[in-house]
Amino acid sequence: MGTTGEGPSFSLEERTQVFKAAAEARQSLPDLRLLAGTGTPSLEETISTTKAAFNLGFDGVVVLPPYYFRKATDEGLLAWFSQVLQRAVPQGGALLGYHIPPVSGVALSLDFLASLKDAYPDRFIGIKDSSGDPVYAQAFGERFGTNLLSLTGNDRLFTLALEAGAVGCITAMANVLSPLLRQVWDAFQSGDLDQITQAKLSNARGVLDRYPPMPPLLKMLLSHLHGFPIWRVKPPLVNLKEELVDTVLSEFSAAIG
């Protein structure tokens, strides 16, 4: 229920249905870790959605800031996230902030993150960083080290993020190119930088960035590359136009070579 999953387009009831399906899938995949996207502009709805995820046994939630009020201060964001953590995240549960200012319009400053970590050291564990900003990724690593987790949301920056201390990724292309992302991660754990695979990821991400918005594009790729049904997107998004399908597939295949 993040960006690719069109989370903001789903009602609480619809999100809960998706959470239930994921929880059922874990019965045959016991090592699967589940994170739910639960952030909305409404504090009460975010709390209800977050509770629903934890009640179904999810390991954590990834929470957008209240993105309607783009001029909210760090003080206001701290009060908002504090309510979510106090009222919806149980002991043993984990909350990650979702830093995606190009979409949300609300940045999570390093000072704000430090204040939230100080107040909730056991339940606030880090961020998903989809800013696409290498300076922010590096500054985050320098400021927090291993005290806060960072999961990059930008395939182009995966290697850079790992060098800056990120522990992994949650990216759009993980839906279709997870083996390549794993190659970069495995190489880094062995002390190497797999620049060839990283270049393929960067080139492929360039294709996706040329044909926004990304959700209909990824659903098309999942169908053509991995045999999934052709899922329709929810308004205001529209499915990828048929005349673009062959072009995108050709460019994507060339990118990963």
Q: How confident is the model at residue 44, as a pLDDT?
A: 97
Query: Which residues in the chain belong to E strands, given as ranges?
Result: 35-37, 60-63, 94-99, 124-129, 149-152, 168-169
Tens of pLDDT, residues 68-125:
999 999 999 999 999 999 999 999 999 999 999 999 999 999 999 999 999 999 999 9
Low-confidence ranges of the chain (pLDDT < 70): none
Angle between the N-to-C axes of helices 214-226 and 195-210, in degrees from 0 to 180, rounded to the nearest 10: 120
Collapsing DSSP to helix, strand or coil, 229 comes out as coil
Active site residues: 3, 68, 98, 128
- The sheet with strand 149-152 has its strands ordered as 35-37, 60-63, 94-99, 124-129, 149-152, 168-169
Query: Which domains are seen in the chain, by residue range?
Result: 1-171 (3.20.20.70), 173-257 (no CATH)
Q: How confident is the model at residue 238, as a pLDDT?
A: 96
Q: How confident is the model at residue 30, as a pLDDT?
A: 87
Q: How confident is the model at residue 23, as a pLDDT?
A: 95
Rounded CA separation 130/121 (Å): 23
CA dihedral 163, 165, 170, 171 (to 10 degrees): -30
